[in-house]
Amino acid sequence: MSYCFQAFQGYMASHRFFYLLKASKHGPFGGYIISCVLEKMIYFYPFAMNATTTNTLQFAHSLFGNAEAGGLHYVYQGNFSMELTNSILGIAESNLENHHEAAGVKKKVYFIMVESLQNITRHQNDDLAAPGFFIIRRTGNDYYVTSCNTISNNEIELLESKLLEVNSLDQDSLKSHYKDILMHGGISDKGGAGLGLIEMARKSGNKLVYDFEEINDKVSYFFFQTKISSVRGTETGAGMHRDNLEEAKKLHADILKNNLSLVYQGEFTQEVVKCALTMTEGIGDKDPLLLKKRSFLIVVELLQNIFKHGQNPSGGKEGNPGVFLTGKTGDEYLFSASNVILKGDVAKLRTKLELVNSLSKPELDTLYTKVLLEEERPGDKGAGLGLIDLRLKSGHALIYDFRELQDDHAVFTLEVRISPNSTHHDPPKHS
């Protein structure tokens, strides 16, 4: 059993489990993440934001604002381990089940994801390789799987010739070409001689879209995108979904600009929470164990709040919509989570956040004990223990923001930062 899941079980068995059960009895308190596809466009209105609004907060809110246009599921940028790729595939499988996709569509999406992830892992250990990049998004009836890895500039011409050849063939010709390469072509340590490209074109029924973006005189980014249509007869040529690739490239630039590594936007079920925890398992591997443990417990708190206490405006029962981000600048880790709450809860939640940020460590300990032991009033939307715990564990003031939606809901984003030099503390223990 991994360290993270052992820690997660221990955490849930401690006094914090008491809070999670207690808070869930009376409704949402915090919560944080977003829906793969929302049924209606979301609009934002200016809404009394916290004085400190970071680029990450703005980026998280932009994901909500573009939900219908982009249908983002998740993004990962960094080193792709076997455990990580399994978690990415696990989340995709859960989302496909939630959308009740046909078995054929699920197989196609899964196959193309595997091929794309394998392409990243084959090249991530090359000399001068930049971190890999992977996106899966759903727009209307279509899934878009986009990957990015570095490629030597002197290999671009050969790769592009293969892509052009694949895109020039119809389905029958692709099948024949595949058999021909299988019989006469060679297999290298980097994979088949274009077999993966042919299979992705065959299974998707769409043309392959790609682009090269020069990093320096030696290497370039290779962006590669495959579209899978969940409705038969809607397959298109390459030009029809090039705009989606351009959006993915812009997102890649935004991820790099904000020093982010993971962006997840989707309906947060218990299965998704488990997979997301595994995806953050490598955080702080080279840092002291105490920092790694605190970082993990912060992630647990944010994800559990999304799953247990967020609102779902569409009334769906599969999970709660939200956005979860992780990143690192220097030696400081960043965790940001967004979720939908009732508009009527904003003032009360803001008051709790302001109070928690204003207190010293001894005052936080006193408040934690008071809130833990006193009986919760009927109708109260949570005791505030989670916010106090996050403040104590991170050693930093909590950064937050509220954005009003067009109905009776608002988006609440909470950003937590932690570093080796943070003056962090654990909450007082109670028997």
What pLDDT is recorded for position 285?
Answer: 67
What pLDDT is recorded for position 185?
Answer: 63
Mean residue pLDDT across the chain: 77
Strand-pair partners of 132: 78
Average pLDDT over residues 216-230: 92
411 CB-side CA count, 13 A: 29
196 CB-side CA count, 13 A: 20
Average pLDDT over residues 105-118: 91
What pLDDT is recorded for position 377?
Answer: 56
d(C-alpha 282, C-alpha 265), whole Å = 20
Average pLDDT over residues 5-34: 32
Alpha carbon 109 to its chain centroid, in Å, reads 18
Read off the pLDDT band of 201 (50, 70, 90).
very high
d(C-alpha 399, C-alpha 334), whole Å = 11
Q: Which residues contact 44 (CB under 8 A, 6 or more apart)?
A: 61, 64, 65, 403, 404, 405, 411
Read off the pLDDT band of 204 (50, 70, 90).
very high
Read off the pLDDT band of 414 (50, 70, 90).
very high
Q: What is the pTM of this model?
A: 0.76
> Could you tell me which residue, 239 or 90, shows the higher pLDDT?
90
What pLDDT is recorded for position 284?
Answer: 64
Range name among 50-64, 170-184, 194-208, 347-361 with the lowest pLDDT average: 50-64
> Could you tell me which residue, 414 or 12, shows the higher pLDDT?
414
What pLDDT is recorded for position 31?
Answer: 27
What pLDDT is recorded for position 17?
Answer: 29
Read off the pLDDT band of 264 (50, 70, 90).
confident
> Could you tell me which residue, 13 or 265, shows the higher pLDDT?
265
Strand-pair partners of 33: 322
> How many C-beta atoms surround the C-beta of residue 352 within 10 A?
20
Residues composing the chain: 431
d(C-alpha 231, C-alpha 373), whole Å = 55
What pLDDT is recorded for position 188?
Answer: 47
Residue in 327, 354, 157 with CA at minimum distance from that of residue 255: 327
Answer yes or no: is pLDDT of 427 > 70. Answer: no
What pLDDT is recorded for position 20?
Answer: 28
Residue in 75, 67, 114, 111 with CA at minimum distance from that of residue 228: 111
What pLDDT is recorded for position 58?
Answer: 82
* 379, 26 Cβ separation under 8 angstroms: yes
Range name among 149-158, 270-279, 387-396 with the lowest pLDDT average: 270-279
Read off the pLDDT band of 47 (50, 70, 90).
very low
**DSSP secondary structure letters along 11-63:** HHHSHHHHHHHHHHHS--S---B--SS-SS----B-----S---HHHHHHHHH
What pLDDT is recorded for position 26?
Answer: 29
Answer yes or no: is pLDDT of 14 > 50. Answer: no
Strand-pair partners of 146: 135, 225
Give 368-386 pLDDT, tens digit per residue. Answer: 888 888 755 554 544 588 9
Q: Which residues contact 314 (CB under 8 A, 6 or more apart)?
A: 35, 38, 39, 321
Average pLDDT over residues 241-245: 81
Give 136-157 pLDDT, tens digit per residue. Answer: 888 878 899 999 999 999 999 9
Q: Which helix (H) or strand (E) holds 290?
A: helix 289-309
Read off the pLDDT band of 45 (50, 70, 90).
very low
Answer yes or no: is pLDDT of 46 > 80. Answer: no
What pLDDT is recorded for position 114?
Answer: 92
What pLDDT is recorded for position 9?
Answer: 42
Answer yes or no: is pLDDT of 318 > 80. Answer: no
What pLDDT is recorded for position 51?
Answer: 39
Encoded amino acid at 90, one letter: G
Identify the DSSP state of 240.
G
Q: Which helix (H) or strand (E) holds 177?
A: helix 171-184
> How many C-beta atoms surround the C-beta of residue 11 within 10 A?
18
Residue in 273, 327, 331, 329 with CA at minimum distance from that of residue 302: 273
Q: How far apart, in Å, are the Cα atoms of 350 and each of 4, 59, 401? A: 31, 21, 9
> How many C-beta atoms surround the C-beta of residue 377 within 10 A?
8
Q: Residue 194 region, left (φ>0) first, then alpha (ψ -120 to 50), else beta?
A: left
Give 323-354 pLDDT, tens digit per residue. Answer: 899 998 888 999 999 999 999 999 999 999 99
* 8, 300 Cβ separation under 8 angstroms: yes
